[in-house]
Amino acid sequence: MSKDDQILEEFTSKEYEHGWTVDIDSDQAPKGLNEDIIRFISAKKEEPQWLLDWRLDAFRVWSKMQEPHWANVTFPSINYQDIIYYSAPKQKVQSKSLDEVDPELLETFKKLGISLEEQKRLTGVAVDAVIDSVSVATTFKDKLGELGIIFCSFSEAVKEHPELVKKYLGSVVPVSDNYYAALNSAVFSDGSFCYIPKGVRCPMELSTYFRINAANTGQFERTLIVAEDNSYVSYLEGCTAPMRDENQLHAAVVEIYVKADAEVKYSTVQNWYPGDKNGKGGIYNLVTKRGICAGNNAKLSWTQVETGSAVTWKYPSCILKGDNSSGEFYSVAVTNNYQQADTGTKMIHIGRNTKSRIVSKGVSAGYSQNSYRGQVYVMKRATGARNFSQCDSLLMGNKCGAHTFPYIDIENKSSMVEHEATTSKIGEDQIFYCTQRGIDEESAVALIVNGYCKEVLNQLPMEFAVEAQKLLALTLEGSVG
Amino acid sequence: MSNASKPDNQIDQLSKKFDQFETMLNGSKGSIHETRKAAIAHFLKNGFPTSKNEEYKYTDLDKAVSKTIDFSLEPNASEFGASELEFGKIKDLDAYELVFVNGQYQTEQSSVPNLDGVIITDFKEALSSDSDVIKNHYSKYASFEKDELVALNTGFSINGSVIRIKKNQTIDKPIVLRYINSVVNDQTQNHPRNLIVAEESSSASVIEIYGDVGDHVSFTNEVTEIVIAENSQLDHYKLQLNSNKAFYTGTTQVMQASSSRFRSYTFTVAGSIIRNNLNVDQDGEGCETHMYGLYLLNGNSHVDNHTTVDHKKPNSYSNELYKGILDDKSKGVFNGKIYVRPEAQKTNAFQSNKNILLTVNAIVNSKPLLEIWADDVKCSHGCTTGQLDEEALFYMQARGLSKDSARSLLLYAFATEVLETVEIEPVKAYLEKIISDRLH
């Protein structure tokens, strides 16, 4: 196809849409990491002593750990002393309503396309927006408060609900879990906290927007979601970052604690800056996400659409501890240019009759490398466990790679575990079928890819699904197989 | 075990053993001795692979071997009875055969006529006659730098077989290589080395048989290098009839040229620790590779099958089917890798691993990997682990079959998918008998 080069050219010259920076005066910590920096962060946030101790503990554990290198990604080693670990937009008093929020901040969100007012009025989505570590405004708080739902920034939760934070912090992802989780535990600056009381069904989708703004700052958020017995919540997370030449580190931790009969849905659309067409710059997204189905009949579902980041290292996992609990993982990972993604999940079956389902769709184009890495572990006592995994990869062009690394460890005879994976390209006959019917080649690719990812996109809440579809088409524009 | 040995002693023992081996070779070291020395140096430096090595994550050979194997033992008696010499002989199979007991070539038992189309010799003889096959192919494919077990074998390579199938020849009978460990009196250790070269447009079948006679522990570390030239076809069987005390590690390294076909069959029925590495390099266009495996385990058996297919050129095909039935406290490990290099467009590669667990103590670790850099390909893998279908069992019981016979019938049917790919009738019948005896 002669058109290929031309289209590819067109596509690769496509600039990152969200690449701009806004000058907001920010309050920064000096570069580097040591116990004093941690004390500085803790003091800035007016944290209680127990949390400072917890951070210091994490720092000591981290200092003894080695950076992991097993993932199928390569990037220059990170100098952890060359990062600013705390950067807060300057703001004197905590704002009570949107009107009091710095107008420049609001402008930032407008550019992102998530005007808070708009969102508040039109979509009924409660947004907790996080720019560079500090949560600036949380909408719909009062409305949620009536139901007893707590949805606030992490630092606020530390002040107002210390007993809850203390009880659940680190209960799913312990300090010593892995290198990046330990780092996060030591220096996390802010994040979201969400608590759904017993028997409450959260009436709206809760949403957080992450955005890395100041140059040279790593972002370390911490999200903690606790769903009490028989409750329900759907939680959305979206991320963007402006264009920066140097790679920025993002090492977040998400913990989800699901009790008996409760259900949590966690959806992410991630489009951090992926670097330019030569693989320069971009975000290192090294994230630990894990949830536990602690009670019987608990349900946890992860949905992710990963289109951004130069390097992604992310394995949202489910610990299925309660009997009859179930875990789901739906993922679309799209990589282009020099992006590298190593993502997947872990399903750990501990309780009886636990079920898990994994659907992973990878699309690689350009010079990118896309890997699925997942584990299904059925423990001895997990009688009647059931798993189904499906990992499909789509390749566009012959410079990219698609890799599958599934680990299937079964220690129980009554379990049924199935794994399937396929790799292929878009069929010429499929494209021909579309072009013959007057759909141009580019739209045909978008159409086919969207159809290919549909199983996952269908899991997303409506607002996100639209955005995700747009992102997919955008990321793959022109990369006709 | 005669004397308890500490873990680090294994290396010392093998180091001394190599010195002895060199003395024994005396003047007849042959052209390959420099390779041996380099290989053993590599092994002594690194030792047996431990579970920290990702490739040996589920099979810690260092731990297993250090507990059980005493490498300081001298090779035992050279007199063997019929039980050793006849073990593993397949009834009604008309074949050319090389027989080895404890690594020693048994001239009397072997039947290698002088043929035009094929040269079949034991490794020692090929070395002393300075054969071109060894010169051109020995240690060219199985790299001792990449695997410690290959290094250990290369260091001690003296016993084994060299087969050269000449251009345009089709060999009328299968070639059997039978390696028997006599462990009646004490442990034994062997390092068989095979080299199979199929020249252009030739065709042959080679059957390797491994077994133990006696109640002691055996240690076999085998390496087979296979070269398949253009338009040639080779079928390669491995029948592992070892005892439940056997330690067996084997590497089969295959190099395929354009339009060649390679079929591999691996049957494992017992063993304390069995580790099979099967690596196929498709270095030409239009290659075809089939890999079949069946493992039936009970007791504390541990079987680890690692396979790799590397598609380097366009228009090739590979298909893999490994099945396992695990009883008692046995453990089955499967690791299959498919690489499709950027150049290897239009590749079709399929891989499947299916397991049945019969008890709560049996364990399966399966890791099917795909690494693909070319876009115009069709690749898939599948992996299932489960138990017998309750409904199928009930269906048969409702029609008057006892639960046991219904169960063995279903298991037999499960195994048949692999079994029926065997084309040599007497081999198939022989395996059928072993399997049905085990399942009833």
Confidence of residue B55 (pLDDT cuts 50, 70, 90): confident
For residue B128, being part of any structural domain is answered with: yes
Phi, psi of B17, deg, nearest 5:
-60, -40
A101: pLDDT strictly greater than 80: no
For residue B39, being part of any structural domain is answered with: no
pLDDT for the residue numbered A11:
43
For residue B14, being part of any structural domain is answered with: no
Percent of chain B with pLDDT over 90: 55
d(CA A105, CA A91): 11
A120: pLDDT strictly greater than 80: no
**Conformational region of residue B56, where left means phi above 0, alpha means psi within -120 to 50, and beta covers everything else:** alpha
d(CA B64, CA B301): 12
Question: Which of B389, B408, B423 is a domain's end point?
Answer: B389
d(CA A51, CA A45): 11
Percent of chain B with pLDDT over 70: 96
Interface test with B, best of A369, A398, A413 (most B CBs within 10 A): A413
Question: What is the secondary structure of A323-347 as a DSSP string?
Answer: TT-EEEEEEEEEE-TT-EEEE--EE
Chain A residue whose CA is closest to B363: A411
Angle at alpha carbon of residue B342, lines to A273 and A366, rounded to 5°: 20
Question: Which of B389, B409, B428 is a domain's end point?
Answer: B389
Confidence of residue B398 (pLDDT cuts 50, 70, 90): very high
> Same domain, yes or no, for B353 and B440?
no
For residue B154, being part of any structural domain is answered with: yes
Partners of B355 on chain A (C-beta within 8 Å) are 410
For residue B60, being part of any structural domain is answered with: no
State the average pLDDT for chain B: 89
Confidence of residue A95 (pLDDT cuts 50, 70, 90): very low
> Same domain, yes or no, for B440 and B294?
no
Partners of B391 on chain A (C-beta within 8 Å) are none
Confidence of residue A479 (pLDDT cuts 50, 70, 90): low
B249: pLDDT strictly greater than 70: yes
Determine which of A129-138, B66-75, B413-422 has the lowest per-residue pLDDT on average. Answer: A129-138
Q: What is the mean pLDDT of residues A301-306?
A: 90
Question: CA quadruple B75, B77, B78, B81: dihedral positive or negative?
Answer: negative
Chain B residue whose CA is closest to A373: B369
Nearest one of A315, A366, A318, A408 to B369, comparing CA atoms = A408
Q: How far is A396 from chain B (nearest CA, A)?
A: 6
d(CA B82, CA B67): 31
Partners of A395 on chain B (C-beta within 8 Å) are 372, 374-375, 377
Chain A residue whose CA is closest to B325: A413
> Same domain, yes or no, for B176 and B286?
yes
Chain A residue whose CA is closest to B342: A398
Reading the block at residue B126, the tokens are 């090929």
Reading the block at residue A112, the tokens are 């992102």
pLDDT for the residue numbered A18:
57
Buried b (16+ CB within 10 A) or exposed e, B360-391: ebbbbbbbbbbbbbbbbbebbbbbbbbbbeee
Query: Is the minimum CB–CB distance between A398 and chain B shorter than 8 Å?
Result: yes
Query: For residues A26 and B17, which has the higher predicted lDDT (pLDDT)?
Result: B17
Residue reference for tokens 């039109």:
A122
Interface of B with A in 272-301 (CB under 8 A): none
pLDDT for the residue numbered B175:
94
For residue B216, being part of any structural domain is answered with: yes
Q: What is the pLDDT of residues A143-170, one digit of tens each?
A: 778 888 888 888 888 888 989 988 998 8
Chain A residue whose CA is closest to B333: A409
Q: Closest partner residue to B366 among A396, A408, A415, by Cβ?
A: A408
Reading the block at residue A15, the tokens are 């600039």
> Same domain, yes or no, for B148 and B283?
yes
Q: Are A241 and A176 in contact (CB under 8 A)?
A: no
Phi, psi of B327, deg, nearest 5:
-115, 175
State the average pLDDT for chain A: 79
For residue B52, being part of any structural domain is answered with: no
Instruction: Give, in order, the Cα–Cα distances in Å from B313 to each of A46, B256, B259, B274.
Output: 63, 11, 11, 32
d(CA A297, CA A320): 10
pLDDT for the residue numbered A124:
45
Nearest one of A153, A147, A160 to A232, comparing CA atoms = A147
Q: What is the pLDDT of residues A329-370, one digit of tens each?
A: 999 898 888 888 999 999 999 999 999 999 999 988 888 889
Q: How far is A246 from chain B (nearest CA, A)?
A: 28
Residues in CB range of A108: below 8 A, 6 or more apart: A22, A24, A131, A211, A213
Confidence of residue B22 (pLDDT cuts 50, 70, 90): confident
> Same domain, yes or no, for B339 and B398?
no
Are the beta carbons of A403 and B369 separated by less than 8 Å? yes
d(CA B331, CA B323): 13
Query: Is the minimum CB–CB distance between A423 and chain B shorter than 8 Å?
Result: yes
Instruction: Please classify residue B36 by burial: count the beta carbons closer than 10 Å to its beta carbon, then call 0-12 exposed, 13-18 middle and 19+ buried.
Output: buried
Query: Is the minimum CB–CB distance between A97 and chain B shorter than 8 Å?
Result: no
A267: pLDDT strictly greater than 70: yes
Residues in CB range of A451: below 8 A, 6 or more apart: none
Question: What is the secondary structure of A213-277 as a DSSP string?
Answer: -STTB-B-EEEEEEE-TT-EEEEEEEEE----SS-EEE--EEEEEE-TT-EEEEEEEEE-----T
Residues in CB range of A220: below 8 A, 6 or more apart: A85, A133, A183, A184, A187, A188, A189, A250, A251, A252
> Same domain, yes or no, for B117 and B265?
yes
Query: For residues B117 and B25, which has the higher predicted lDDT (pLDDT)?
Result: B117
Nearest one of B212, B219, B110, B214 to B161, comparing CA atoms = B110
Instruction: Please classify residue B282 by burial: count the beta carbons closer than 10 Å to its beta carbon, then call 0-12 exposed, 13-18 middle and 19+ buried.
Output: buried
Are the beta carbons of A422 and B380 separated by less than 8 Å? yes
Instruction: Give, in order, the Cα–Cα distances in Å from A446 to each of A333, A360, A435, A477.
Output: 15, 18, 13, 7
Query: Is the minimum CB–CB distance between B371 and chain A shorter than 8 Å?
Result: yes
* C-beta atoms surrounding A454 within 10 Å: 14
Query: Is the minimum CB–CB distance between A411 and chain B shorter than 8 Å?
Result: yes
Are the beta carbons of B375 and A70 separated by less than 8 Å? no
Confidence of residue A121 (pLDDT cuts 50, 70, 90): very low
Percent of chain A with pLDDT over 70: 76
Q: How far is A481 from chain B (nearest CA, A)?
A: 8
Q: What is the pLDDT of residues B329-375, one digit of tens each?
A: 999 999 999 999 988 989 999 999 999 998 888 999 998 888 888 88
Determine which of A88-92, A159-163, B31-35 has the lowest per-residue pLDDT on average. Answer: A88-92
Reading the block at residue A457, the tokens are 């996109």
Residues in CB range of B172: below 8 A, 6 or more apart: none
Query: Is the minimum CB–CB distance between A415 and chain B shorter than 8 Å?
Result: yes
Instruction: Give, in order, the Cα–Cα distances in Å from B124 to each of B86, B103, B158, B192, B386.
Output: 22, 11, 6, 11, 47
Between chain A and chain B, the number of residue pairs with CB atoms below 8 A apart is 120
pLDDT for the residue numbered A94:
43
B58: pLDDT strictly greater than 70: yes
Element spanning B249, H or E? strand B246-256
**Conformational region of residue B191, where left means phi above 0, alpha means psi within -120 to 50, and beta covers everything else:** beta
pLDDT for the residue numbered B27:
63
A481: pLDDT strictly greater than 60: no
Residue reference for tokens 């069959």:
B265
> Same domain, yes or no, for B258 and B192?
yes
Query: In terms of residue numbers, what domain contains B353?
Result: 80-389
Partners of A424 on chain B (C-beta within 8 Å) are 377-379
B165: pLDDT strictly greater than 70: yes
Instruction: Please classify residue B42 by burial: count the beta carbons closer than 10 Å to its beta carbon, then call 0-12 exposed, 13-18 middle and 19+ buried.
Output: buried
A20: pLDDT strictly greater than 70: no
Residue reference for tokens 């920096």:
A37
Are the beta carbons of A419 and B377 separated by less than 8 Å? no
Instruction: Give, in order, the Cα–Cα distances in Å from A85 to each of A37, A169, A190, A245, A270.
Output: 8, 20, 11, 18, 22
B280: pLDDT strictly greater than 90: yes
A215: pLDDT strictly greater than 70: no
Q: What is the pLDDT of residues B72-127, one digit of tens each?
A: 777 665 677 777 788 888 888 999 999 999 888 888 888 887 888 899 998 888 88
> Same domain, yes or no, for B353 and B414?
no
Residue reference for tokens 């680190």:
A170
Number of domains in chain B: 2
Kindly calculate the radius of gyration of chain B based on its CA atoms and give it in whole angstroms: 21
Determine which of A358-367, B253-262, B416-425 has the lowest per-residue pLDDT on average. Answer: A358-367
Q: Are B296 and B84 in contact (CB under 8 A)?
A: no
Q: Closest partner residue to B371 among A401, A413, A416, by Cβ?
A: A401
Q: What is the pLDDT of residues B202-215, one digit of tens each?
A: 999 999 999 999 88
> Same domain, yes or no, for B382 and B402?
no
Percent of chain A with pLDDT over 90: 21
Q: What is the mean pLDDT of residues B16-41?
A: 83
pLDDT for the residue numbered B232:
96
Q: Closest partner residue to A422 among B362, B376, B379, by Cβ?
A: B379
Are the beta carbons of B342 and A380 separated by less than 8 Å? no
Query: Is the minimum CB–CB distance between A431 and chain B shorter than 8 Å?
Result: no
Residues in CB range of B186: below 8 A, 6 or more apart: B2, B73, B76, B216
> Same domain, yes or no, for B182 and B210?
yes
Residues in CB range of A22: below 8 A, 6 or more apart: A104, A105, A107, A108, A111, A213
Nearest one of A367, A361, A372 to A275, comparing CA atoms = A367
pLDDT for the residue numbered A213:
55
d(CA A289, CA A295): 19
> Same domain, yes or no, for B272 and B348?
yes
Query: Is the minimum CB–CB distance between A393 and chain B shorter than 8 Å?
Result: yes
> Same domain, yes or no, for B314 and B413?
no
Q: What is the pLDDT of residues A412-458, one digit of tens each?
A: 888 888 888 888 888 788 889 999 999 988 888 888 888 888 888 88
Determine which of A204-213, B96-105, B282-291, B424-433 has the lowest per-residue pLDDT on average. Answer: A204-213
Q: What is the mean pLDDT of residues A300-314?
A: 88
Confidence of residue B29 (pLDDT cuts 50, 70, 90): low
**Conformational region of residue B41, where left means phi above 0, alpha means psi within -120 to 50, and beta covers everything else:** alpha
pLDDT for the residue numbered A122:
39
Q: What is the mean pLDDT of residues B187-214?
A: 93
Q: What is the pLDDT of residues A367-393, one digit of tens each?
A: 888 999 999 999 988 988 999 999 888
For residue B34, being part of any structural domain is answered with: no
Domain ranges of chain A: 3-476
